[in-house]
Each structure stands twice: as C-alpha cells, then as structure tokens.
C-alpha cells in the first residue's frame, strides 16, 4: 500500500472543515430559536453530531461523483489513486467509527449502509460488515435482499404462531 500524499490530506481536511462548518451552521439555523430548556447544550451537541454526519454522507457522495473509484490497481500519482486515497481517508476517519464499533443499533446501521458505504465498500477489495455477515452466517445467496438467517428466523416465528 502506498502512502497517502499531502494533496489528498489537504483536500480531505478542507472537506472535513466544510462538513463541520455545515453541521454547526445547520444546527444553529435549525435549533437556535427553540427553547430547549436545561438540556440545551446536550441537544445542540447531539444535533450538531448528527447533522455533521449527514453532511459527511452528502460530501462523500459528491466526492465520489467528482472522483469515482476504479477497480483494480491505480498508477502512482493518477486520478484513480487520488480517489482511492480520499475514499480511505473518509472511511478511516469518519465512517469506520460508525460501522465497526457497533454503537449504533442495527436498524440505524441499515440507513448508514444505504447512504452509500455498503455499495462502495463492495466495489473495493475490502469486504464490508455485510459481506462478513453473509459469509459467516449462511452460504446460500440472498433472495431479494433478504438474508437467509432472517428467512429462517421469520419461518420460526410463523411456526410458533401456528401452534
């Protein structure tokens, strides 16, 4: 693996600064006039965090429109290497904490994956948590996006209801 260059780091830090500014500005615009009571600081901090991550998803998708990921190896100094390094920075510094820590409940994780991370991680060689689950949990292919263990669980619930 090649080292991430200064250009990628500077672009990512500019994007990260704009994400944070947009998140804070959105929080101030949406919640500044609301009477939030004693928990005003907690509510504003939580809203700023959520809105910053929403802006991060939007900025990530915009970056992928400008610099799409390419399959295979990238030549040193190429646009494909720049896109891959920027993708790695987004993943490691912003999205890895959401995906791998299991702090967010599973129904909300589905929304995180739908925001684009799952689709793009599958395009890369690294497997996402969904791919790991598919390989560990069941060996059969998925039918219409439903996991085989979910089908077994649903069948067991239906069998118990019939009794």
- As a whole number, mean pLDDT of residues 98-124 equals 69
pLDDT-based confidence at residue 75 (cuts at 50, 70, 90): confident
| Predicted confidence (pLDDT) at residue 128 exceeds the cutoff of 60 | no
**What average pLDDT does the structure give for the chain?**
77
Is the same domain home to 84 and 149?
Answer: no
Indicate the number of domains in the chain: 2
| Predicted confidence (pLDDT) at residue 20 exceeds the cutoff of 80 | yes
Is the same domain home to 80 and 134?
Answer: no
Is the same domain home to 93 and 146?
Answer: no
What is the rounded CA–CA span in Å between residue 106 and residue 130? Answer: 11
Candidates 13, 6, 15, 92; CA nearest to 61 is: 15
Rounded CA Rg of the chain = 20
Rounded to the nearest 5 degrees, what angle is found at the Cα of 88, between the Cα atoms of 136 and 138?
10
Residue 78 located in a structural domain: yes
Full domain range(s) for residue 137: 129-163
Q: Identify the residue with better confidence: 103 or 71.
A: 71
For residue 55, the tally of other CB atoms under 10 A from its CB is: 20
- As a whole number, mean pLDDT of residues 27-44 equals 85
| Predicted confidence (pLDDT) at residue 74 exceeds the cutoff of 70 | yes
Q: Identify the residue with better confidence: 59 or 100.
A: 59
Is the same domain home to 75 and 11?
Answer: yes
Q: Identify the residue with better confidence: 126 or 83.
A: 83
The answer to whether 80 and 74 are in contact (CB under 8 A) is: yes
């Amino acid at each position: 693996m090649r080292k991430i260059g200064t250009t990628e780091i500077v672009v990512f830090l500019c994007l990260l600064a704009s994400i944070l500014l947009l998140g804070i500005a959105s929080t101030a615009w949406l919640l500044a006039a609301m009477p939030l009571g004693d928990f005003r600081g907690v509510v504003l901090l939580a809203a700023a965090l959520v809105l910053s991550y929403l802006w991060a998803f939007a900025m990530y998708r915009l970056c992928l429109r400008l610099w799409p990921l390419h399959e295979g190896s990238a030549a040193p100094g190429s646009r494909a290497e720049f896109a891959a390094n920027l993708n790695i920075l987004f993943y490691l510094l912003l999205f890895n904490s959401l995906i791998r820590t299991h702090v967010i409940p599973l129904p909300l994780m589905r929304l995180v994956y739908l925001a684009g991370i799952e689709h793009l991680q599958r395009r890369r060689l690294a497997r996402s948590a969904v791919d790991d689950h598919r390989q560990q949990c069941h060996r059969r292919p998925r039918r219409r996006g439903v996991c085989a263990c979910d089908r077994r669980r649903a069948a067991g619930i239906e069998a118990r209801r019939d009794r």
